[in-house]
């Protein structure tokens, strides 16, 4: 097998003298080196350390590095502020990357992935690129990942702060929510369809309340699609600069969790979508509804996890249904929706209302269903085992997985916690312990006679989410990090309210007594749950009251069991459930019973 050649990586000062020195250096080195840098397509990174340990960057690709750099230095500063900043900076550098396999498609893919990585790096303030450019199949695409890893390793020799180890980047919530993920064909098709619908709506003067519903199970790639769509819709003016109907188009992104809010605000600022001096482009639904009226409609609202929108009044929200209120306030609403992740009574959709919104989308050919499983890196049989456990409430024998997805049942919660700690330390990704909401927890309130709200079982105990103290310096460092990204949370248990919407490498799930196993079926016991938002009654449209704990507690289990990318570790408090799970691990479940 032919060995893939190494990349050529050259760093110069970003000025006319620097590009002159680059020409002389590569010409004097060898004819091959000269050709790869001066004649072949190249990828380049311009950066300046504009304040202490913080960089602004531009990533580009070109077939003529000398001409392109000269243009950036002599023409572009008069046209764009970013190039004026780079040209005037005393410490601006440019890194030029060459490779004998580079062609147009490969350089565009390298450019896109560099933007993906660098937009996730803490040391980067702003990424000035204006586009995403993922490529599909092309000659040399099979060696893309190998070439990129080699490029990144060489970049680290130039600047370890700007180019940290890949595992650090891939663990970050910013990386996982980035718009630069390479989309599948299913996601690309959905994105192009939604963009076409938005563009068509902008040409209709009286367009209002068009609903585009994006459905799919947990891990089907809805959030990655949403992030890419959010970025590209807000850049449509650059894609269609002469189109007056979309030149001022603005898409707002609504999220339901504080940690997601922080992640997307950072992405919007870092990629130049949002200026802090302007109206907030990322917010929570209630905040948006209270700050916008139906009389002054916005262009586009994109709602992540729209299944968490309230369908009745609560606290500062005085309306009756947040989705309907959003439809009143926008020309187009793109809602990412999974009915199996509704967690509380105030989010519950009655069947008649659920059918209504589905019909609203389907009647306009605006219903999109993502079917591929993107999060769980496992065989179809393994995914089916998890789905059968949750959806059918049946436990089957745990299958062998050729992709090495690891489902393991522990007979002791302490051993599960230790195994998750070991996985978290192996450098392959963040792993955390989670639990069903079956132990008391009151946010911002201390328990009586104890220091923390605890998950307890068989002499082992662990604090619930975000209670362990950290220093002021650590608080500042953790300010923009999700619960799982904060190092000390390896000694806490997360709930659905801290892990929903985020990926983990391995997830450990302590299943409490609200989930039981009786007569060959998984059942749910609302009397054993501490999740008041799931087990209380809900007042229906006709004034009657009902419990919906069975479906809401099932959804809670669904959220926890589908967090892990590479593995799922389980311990069940209910003895019959634990016995059944251990039998499934040993292959002793009689499926004919």
pLDDT higher than 90, residue 298:
yes
Shared domain check, 202 and 102: no
pLDDT digits (tens, 9 = 90+) for 181-212: 888 899 999 999 999 999 999 988 787 899 99
Residue at a domain's end among 344, 369, 394: 369
The residue segments making up the domain with residue 254 are 185-369
| Residue 170: inside a domain | no
Q: What is the mean pLDDT of the chain?
A: 91
Percent of the chain with pLDDT over 90: 67
pLDDT digits (tens, 9 = 90+) for 489-534: 999 999 998 888 788 999 999 999 999 999 999 999 999 999 999 9
Mean pLDDT calculated for residue range 129-136: 67
CA–CA distance, 310 with 286 (Å, rounded to integer): 9
pLDDT digits (tens, 9 = 90+) for 396-442: 999 999 889 999 999 999 999 999 999 998 877 899 999 999 999 99
CA–CA distance, 494 with 552 (Å, rounded to integer): 18
pLDDT digits (tens, 9 = 90+) for 137-181: 777 788 889 999 999 999 999 999 999 999 889 888 888 889 988
Cα 330 to chain centroid, rounded: 25
Q: Which two three-digit tokens encode residue 236?
A: 């449509």
pLDDT higher than 70, residue 2:
no
Shared domain check, 254 and 147: no
**DSSP assignments along 432-466, one per residue:** EEEE-S-S---TT-PPTTSSS-EEEETTEEEEBTT
Q: What is the Cβ-side half-sphere exposure of residue 478, based on CA atoms within 13 angstroms?
A: 17
* Domain count of the fold of the chain: 3
pLDDT digits (tens, 9 = 90+) for 546-582: 999 999 999 999 999 999 999 999 999 999 999 999 9
CA–CA distance, 36 with 26 (Å, rounded to integer): 9
Per-residue confidence at 1, pLDDT binned at 50, 70, 90?
Answer: very low
CATH assignment at residue 300: 3.40.50.300
pLDDT digits (tens, 9 = 90+) for 60-91: 999 999 999 999 999 999 999 899 999 999 99
Shared domain check, 219 and 198: yes
Given this model, what pLDDT does residue 207 score?
79
Given this model, what pLDDT does residue 302 score?
97
Three-state SS for 292?
coil
Instruction: Spell out the residues 6+ positions from residue 189 whose beta carbon is closer than 8 angstroms to its own.
Output: none
Shared domain check, 160 and 238: no
Shared domain check, 212 and 153: no
Per-residue confidence at 130, pLDDT binned at 50, 70, 90?
Answer: low
Residue at a domain's end among 109, 135, 164: 164
Shared domain check, 357 and 402: no
């Amino acid at each position: 097998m032919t060995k893939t050649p190494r990349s050529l990586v050259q760093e110069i000062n970003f000025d006319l003298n620097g590009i002159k020195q680059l020409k002389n250096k590569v010409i004097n080195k060898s004819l091959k080196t000269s050709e790869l840098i001066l004649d072949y397509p190249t990828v380049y990174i311009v950066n300046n350390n504009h304040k202490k340990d913080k960089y602004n960057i531009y990533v580009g690709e070109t077939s003529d590095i000398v001409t392109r750099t000269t243009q950036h230095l002599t023409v572009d500063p008069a046209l764009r502020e970013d190039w004026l900043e780079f040209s005037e900076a005393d410490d601006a550098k440019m890194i030029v990357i060459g490779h004998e396999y580079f062609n147009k498609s490969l350089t565009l893919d390298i450019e896109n992935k560099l933007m993906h990585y660098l937009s996730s790096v803490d040391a980067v303030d702003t990424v000035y690129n204006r586009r995403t450019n993922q490529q599909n199949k092309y000659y040399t695409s099979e060696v893309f990942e190998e070439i990129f890893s080699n490029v990144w390793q060489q970049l680290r020799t130039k600047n370890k702060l700007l180019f940290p180890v890949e595992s650090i980047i891939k663990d970050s919530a910013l990386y996982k929510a980035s718009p630069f993920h390479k989309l599948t064909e299913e996601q690309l098709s959905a994105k192009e369809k939604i963009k076409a619908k938005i563009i068509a709506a902008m040409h209709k003067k009286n367009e209002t309340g068009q609903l585009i519903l994006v459905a799919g199970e947990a891990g089907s790639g809805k959030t990655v699609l949403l992030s890419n769509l959010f970025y590209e819709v807000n850049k449509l003016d650059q894609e269609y600069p002469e189109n007056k109907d979309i030149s001022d188009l603005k898409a707002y992104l609504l999220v339901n969790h504080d940690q997601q809010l922080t992640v997307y605000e950072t992405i919007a600022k870092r990629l130049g979508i949002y200026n802090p001096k302007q109206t907030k482009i990322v917010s929570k639904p209630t905040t948006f509804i209270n700050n916008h009226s139906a009389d002054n409609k916005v262009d586009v609202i994109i709602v992540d996890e729209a299944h968490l929108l309230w369908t009745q009044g609560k606290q500062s929200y005085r309306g009756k249904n947040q989705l309907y209120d959003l439809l009143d306030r926008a020309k187009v609403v793109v809602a990412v929706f999974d009915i199996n992740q509704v967690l509380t009574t105030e989010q519950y959709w009655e069947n008649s209302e659920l059918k209504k919104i589905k019909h609203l989308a389907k009647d306009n050919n605006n219903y999109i269903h993502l079917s591929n499983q993107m999060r769980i890196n496992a065989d179809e049989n393994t995914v089916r085992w998890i789905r059968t456990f949750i959806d059918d409430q049946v436990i089957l024998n745990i299958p062998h997985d050729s992709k090495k997805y690891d489902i393991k049942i522990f007979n002791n919660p302490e051993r599960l916690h230790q195994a998750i700690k070991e996985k978290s330390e192996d450098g392959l990704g963040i792993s955390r312990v989670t639990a069903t909401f079956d132990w008391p927890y009151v946010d911002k309130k201390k328990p009586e006679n104890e220091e923390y709200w605890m998950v307890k079982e068989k002499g082992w105990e662990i604090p619930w989410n975000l209670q362990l103290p950290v220093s002021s310096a650590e608080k500042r460092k953790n300010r923009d990090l999700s619960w799982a990204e904060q190092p000390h949370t390896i000694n806490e248990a997360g709930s659905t309210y801290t892990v929903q919407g985020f990926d983990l490498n391995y997830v450990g799930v302590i299943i409490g007594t609200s989930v039981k196993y009786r007569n060959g079926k998984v059942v749910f016991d609302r009397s054993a749950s501490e999740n008041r938002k799931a087990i209380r009654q809900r007042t229906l449209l006709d004034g009657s009251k009902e419990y919906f704990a069975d479906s809401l507690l099932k959804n809670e289990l669904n959220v926890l069991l589908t967090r892990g990318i590479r593995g799922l570790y389980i311990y069940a408090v209910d003895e019959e459930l634990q016995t059944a799970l251990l039998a499934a691990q040993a292959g002793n479940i009689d499926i004919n019973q």
